[in-house]
Structure 1
Amino acid sequence: MWTTMGVVLVTIGLTFVGLFVLLKFGIRWYFSRMLKHVQALGSAQQGVVARITMKLEKLQFSDPQVRKVMQEFKALGYASAGRYTVDEMPGVKIWAGTHPQNGSLALVLELADRYFSADVVRFYENGAALGAGTNPVFHAEHYPSHVQYRQFPRDTAMQDLVQWLDARPLQSAVIAATPKNLRQLNARMYAEMMDYQLSQPLPSLEAWKRMALQDAAALGSALPTLTEPQWQAAYDAQRESQQTATEEALQDHVLRSGQVSAAQWQAMSHELVYVHALLGSEEVAERALRRSALTTDAAQVEALLRQNLAHAELFEAIQRLLPEDERFVYLISINAPLDTRVYRPQAL
């Protein structure tokens, strides 16, 4: 998985599109806002978006090209299926069109007054998706294997996108996009692709900067000039926000797992601790001590950190140092967005 965009849309080294017009903002949405605030020595106001909620609205688009593209889609047989905002991403406006014959979905996205792109998407019953569009920032390696996307130049006619999609052989039965199910399809695919993205480690600072500059060039925009300390602050803020988004995604999977009752969730959801491979050892220790006055520089904790234990071993070894009312105990394991052990307070 970012402004009411006063700065260029750039990304970390995790660029991808997921619902081809939305997911490219899921992480970039935060990053571009954050750059603006870092330049002002402020703090980011918007975090990485782990899940989306589309809302049907009566709205107008700012860019006259959006209306032109909408008309192109209508001429190709797409019926208007509404205009939408995204609760978690202020400034995003979407037009959706559905095709009654081939079941595909057309999406046109406008981000504030800065940018628009268009995509056509086909959903399959086996969970796969195939799309084509004018997203200028595309890295195939950032897509999960069940999602394929063909990038076209930004000035491509919508007819070319539709013809390309129509010519592709069917992978399985098609789920026809309709005004009733398009929000569910979009939200599901966004969640799946954001899970994939959040399961990847953050690249190094230098790789992250290179990707940001490359993507700014692809968008034809100039990147704000940042000092090295500002780049580092942006990188650190990005990592923190991605960790928060990862926890939000993990919470979603715990809730949907069926292994925790509604009453249990209500009682302990805000106190659950998640331990996974993308954390550093000291971060695991900090989570293990969340209910304790001890800190990671306590002699007993430092001794455990020096042993290079596996994350779960480290977490549970620290629990044995604590009184019972400060301990966490194992609850469940989940495997999305990444393999994670979930712990709850021993004393609720």
Structure 2
Amino acid sequence: AEWVSKQLANPPTDKPFFLACGFYRPHEPWFVPAKYFAPFPLEKLQLPPGYLPNDLDDIPPAGQALARNRYFPHIQKSGEWKAGVQGYLASIHFADAMLGNVLDALDQSPRRKNTIVVLWSDHGWHLGEKEHWQKFTGWRACSRVPMMILAPGINPSVCDQPVSTIDLFKTLTSLSGITAPENISGTDLSPLLKDPNLDWPHIALTQLRGPDAYALSGKDFRYIHYANDEEELYNISEDQYEHTNLAKNKEYEDILIKFREEGPSKGVPLRQKGQSNSVRKTPLVELDRKNKPLPSRKSSTRVPFAIKNSSSEHLQIFWINQQGQRKAFGKVHKASNRIMQSHVGHSWVIENEKGKFLGSVIIPKKGARITIE
């Protein structure tokens, strides 16, 4: 904040300038000067209003796996929950004070009347909501962030339309009078800055691990899709903390279908360290069509697993765990490919959409590429 304030005191006058100011807090560790803890005494702190015991009961297994980590049970057991919330609030208070120093410097700057200011963050944080502590989930506690834009000629307003941080590039180029490249993702938000009540057809995408795991937010509903095709749906206009999963409620089938159609469809496989991102180098493996599928072996080595479906019907994928149990892992649509990651020694079964067994495969050391004709 101090360095940026010095730059604002003497900005270039003969050309445009760009300054990026990143505050480390409220990232962990939550250590800030004691005076920023003072407004949040432990005896007056309330636990997060979004916390609900047994909130995972209506969540599919993939969501439960993301939610349940070791941190939250440890924090509860040690009696440090309120102290953790206090540290988080104090860190935000500190970051807010540093932001105030920067804005004070801008107010004194000769470029204050023609400078665009954007305040945003990269992710939210669970403080026990969904029985989770930390980040990396598809729920709003993790994905909602502050976004404020101050620009010359824009009147103050509040907008509740779904937008994304990926929209900032096109927005900044538009506000600056710069033409953005055509291949840039995102949506120009400047129309919303001028009219926050504008009819807005766009949704916001939150990408999780892999191209088939993501969340989509409209103004009234939020949808979460996991790589194994498990789903969640929330009416966030009435259920802001996402306590009631509506994905299996037939009354919302039309909304589910719409979100499914809006999901990302051109994913790129994750590249692991030391691996080529060319699936063509992954060995072609034949399915075992005769023997009973074996349980998966324990392994920490991840390798590519690619399925090419050249048939005229959809395929179903099942993972066989170490106990020999089948776990549905999604589909491969007809005449399409699916590229994902597996562990060496893991066992997979492929069936057609009618449940006919087409074969199984144990993933070898260099990964596997299979083709279904």
Superposed pair shares fold, TM > 0.5: no
For CA contacts below 8 A with separation 6 or more, give which structure has more relative contact order: 1
Q: TM-score normalized by structure 1?
A: 0.26
